[in-house]
Chain A
Amino acid sequence: MTDMLTPPEAIKLTRKDFVAEQEVRWCPGCGDYSILAQTQKVMPDFGVPKENIVFISGIGCSGRLPYYMNTYGFHSIHGRAPTLATGLKIARPELMIWVTTGDGDALSIGGNHFLHSMRRNVDFTMVMHNNRIYGLTKGQTSPTSEFGKRTKSTPMGSVDRPVMPLTLALAAEATFVARTVDTHTEHMQQTLEAAGRHRGASFIEVLQNCNIFNDGAWREFTERDVRDDRMLVLEHGKPLIFGKSRDKGIRLRGLHPEVVTIGENGVTEADLLVHDQYAEDPYLALILSRMFWPEFPVPVGILREVDRPTYSDLMDGQIEQAIAKSGPGDLAKALMAGETWTVE
């Protein structure tokens, strides 16, 4: 989104400029509060005038976020936020657009739009609040709920297999794919910043806690005392090392990743996979996207970031090309196109 990063006059905005006066209405303790706070916190850093920022959401608890941002905002309908964002971006490429969505909103009812907006590389940032449940409708199974999960709609356990959002985003050709956690505030800020600066379709999965209908969904690996051992913080160019004492790593055996301990069985740091978020091919990112607790530490950070022309770049390029070739369209000529004849 570099075109928006140099406003005509350097503007100095603060977090408070982005706080709308609407009273925030999520359940106390909900992870959405943190996502909102980090979003408001990083917004001034982009240097984009707030009238050029638009938040578009679907329906779900997450969908309320635009009301709390003092920017332009559009609370649309269930699953369709990417479609509005696509139309707006096509019409107004200079705007910075954020799409706020939930696991049901993005992957169930909006699954088709998720796929197509990503593959088109529409330049917006989609932040998916993944609480592994339908929050707003009071607790049914979602596309990311665990197999066998008991919810109100699945009293004997869900027989649906969950999808891996990051794998899906990669398969859909998103050019920026990352994961962060609601409670890891600094990490979330970094991730939002990087996504906001990326030109193209960015997808962030935020592991979010719904303390009312699915409390502790991610607790097993995100809690302060265990997270170092159970999560893997991705950093470009660095080996995949994790663990409180930084002695664990990920190595590739054939096509499979495996957890190893540095110093055991002759394993050294040199044996470990080195993260390359800018890799053109998606293989490493795909492997990372499939790794999950308890078999693996859960990767957070940027899995993939590649540079490709955006949808607007290509569409506007064709328009420029057409104008260069035949001049700007002349309506009178278009009306007269083909064979004409005159009646006196």
Chain B
Amino acid sequence: MTSTAQGPEHDVRELDRVTIRFAGDSGDGMQLTGTQFTRTAAVFGNDISTFPDYPAEIRAPAGSLPGVSGFQLSFSASDIHTPGDAPDVLVAMNPAALKTNVPDVPPGGAVIVNSDAFTAGNLSKAAYASNPLTDGSLKQYKVFQVPISTLNAAALEGLDMTSKQVDLTKNFFALGIMFWLYERSMEPTLKWIDQKFGSRPVIAEANRRALRAGHAFGDTTEMFHETYRVPKAKLPPGTYRNITGNEATALGFLAAAQAAGRPLFYGSYPITPASDILHQLSAFKSFGVKSFQAEDEIAAMGATIGAAYGGSLALTGTSGPGLALKTEAMGLAVMTELPVVIVNVQRAGPSTGLPTKVEQADLFQAVFGRNGEAPIPVVAPATPAECFSMAIEASRIALKYMTPVIYLSDAFVGNGAEPWRVPSTDELPDISVPAAVKGDGRFLPYGRDPETLSRPWAVPGTPGLEHRIGGLEKLDGLGTVSYDADNHHRMTVLRRDKVAGIAKDIPDLEVFGPDHGELLILGWGSTYGAIRSAVERLTGEGKSVAHAHLRHLFPFPKNTGDVLRSYKTVLVPELNLGQLWFLIRGTYLVDALAYGRVRGKPFRISEIVDEANRILAERS
């Protein structure tokens, strides 16, 4: 195909999938640039998957290697599960961004650089001995040197702005180039600029000019010989929006409260990468959502228990270190059998660890991390969009079984985005539970439903049900303090059986691929996309490989053992050193193999494919 717009002639190539990475200084607006491109691709109708990757420092020294912030997105004409292993195109705004990101670009890949940023000073901050643009070290890539800063400054000439302000808009120049290269409309971003900077006309104009200038540059330069077209994806019919995991989590709980007919309470102490959920829920005031920024995670947990005791659907949200602080109070929620949901958006640990990077290493903490026998159900969403339904599922279990529930998300699933088919509100399940009222005879605060073993939810304000609860062991039924030895054993077993019984009430573990055979790859949480893509590739090559993904980690779905035993080998890839692996070996006596990586990054599809092939070769 050949197109002749106004500019020089160029070819148009149709592609099934493209992966772009924007990389720059953390002050360069790379997250925003990536998000704008994502929205545009999503609204166009592509399937998308994103991976924002930013440093822990808000503003590390400009131009330095630790200050590099990246945003990778994949958009495609077919169903995709991951933001792509390697970028087809890298946009590098400075030498540090080039240095940290170019090793991920495959040979032949495109690299667009802001050549203005390759000054002696920036090169030395990035520890480059010589200029990579001239020393031949980038020979294996298609390098496009664009003097983005100067071109952008020229486009903004005459605006009443400081040169620093002008420089802050150069990311939109780069975005304009990318829009041109991928034949994307500038409209959604122009609209966004109006909304965002409406009250600051000069800034709005500057951003508009930067975007248009970048686009026009693409059109008029002779640098690019091709533009690329990625047709719409064939998604199931429906109305879609682009959503991050944290947004979907917040919306899921908002919907859960409505589905339960209970007011929503959210207690939290800010922590990356969970704060977005606090921000989101704090904006839902007109829904009557009561969001409470506590003095610490202990207070957030305590307040959540207090709100649950008062009859709300009560949640608290945090990341690993905060979960550690909540631990003692979570035990109180176990003992008092109150419905609370504890959201843990995992990040790399231990301690402060890598606070902005992904890891799945809090599974043991979730399943075991309390004093005494304190079972708590654990669920984990697999994709950003799935956060919505898993938030409702966590709430359902908490309410129906009168128990705390841990919802284990992570930085990758929480910050990542994908298209989400928006459900209609009448698709929501009814998860309401009755409030206890005074009946005949003596009220038994620890009397149990024979089916679920859950106790009544008797909230203050209910006449005739005045009773006392707390962290001391309770007498079976009556709920008064009891130090009786047999009673403690009985109550401990009851609490265990109540949670174990949830297995009867959750969906079976589903298998993708052959229902028996050589290799099962078992995952949980955000590794879903990489595992599914790997298994698609392997089965496409005729290999006997299946994928099963656990959403319920405690208790496991009741067919889990049968599934595991249907394959010669079970491989468990995790972003930890083998926590699910340990759990399934202990639970099912299955000789599974662990594949653990903790690099603060999601798996690449190829890593899982390679590991699977290695095992298949070794075991056949």
Contact = CB atoms under 8 A, between A and B. Distances in A.
B481 interface: yes
Nearest to A66: B468
Contact of A112 (B237, B296, B424, B468): B296
Contacts of A291: none
B306 to A, nearest CB: 3
B39 A339 contact: yes
A326 B284 CA distance: 11
B328 interface: yes
Which residue among B237, B255, B425, B461 has the maximum number of chain A CB atoms within 10 Å of its CB?
Answer: B461
Given A83-B302, A339-B43, A339-B188, A327 B239 contact: no
A336 interface: yes
A91 B262 CA distance: 11
Contacts of A115: 295
B145 interface: no
Interface of B is mostly: mixed
Contacts of A52: 460-461
B374 to A, nearest CB: 13
A54 interface: yes
B32 to A, nearest CB: 15
Contact of B43 (A54, A89, A327, A341): A341
A77 B310 contact: no
B239 A340 contact: yes
B43 A51 contact: no
Nearest to A323: B286
B467 A343 contact: no
Given A75-B468, A83-B294, A332-B424, A92 B460 contact: yes
B597 to A, nearest CB: 34
B286 A72 contact: no
A86 B306 contact: yes
Interface-centre pick from A50, A319, A343 (highest chain B CB count, 10 A):
A343
A94 interface: yes
B240 A343 contact: yes
Nearest to B458: A72
B307 A94 contact: no
A106 to B, nearest CB: 14
Contacts of B267: 87
Contact of A73 (B288, B310, B328, B469): B469
A322 interface: yes
B290 A91 contact: yes
A123 B459 CA distance: 19
14 contacts: A52-B461, A59-B471, A66-B470, A67-B468, A72-B468, A75-B471, A83-B300, A86-B302, A86-B303, A319-B285, A328-B286, A336-B422, A341-B241, A343-B234
Given A83-B300, A341-B241, A343-B240, 11 more contacts: A52-B460, A74-B469, A74-B470, A77-B331, A86-B294, A90-B265, A91-B290, A91-B310, A95-B461, A116-B299, A343-B45
Interface of A: 20, 22, 49-54, 56-57, 59, 66-67, 69-77, 80, 82-92, 94-95, 112-113, 115-116, 315, 318-319, 321-323, 325-329, 331-332, 334-344
Ranked nearest first, the 5 interchain pairs of A and B with the lowest CB-CB distance are: A83-B302, A75-B470, A87-B306, A87-B303, A329-B287
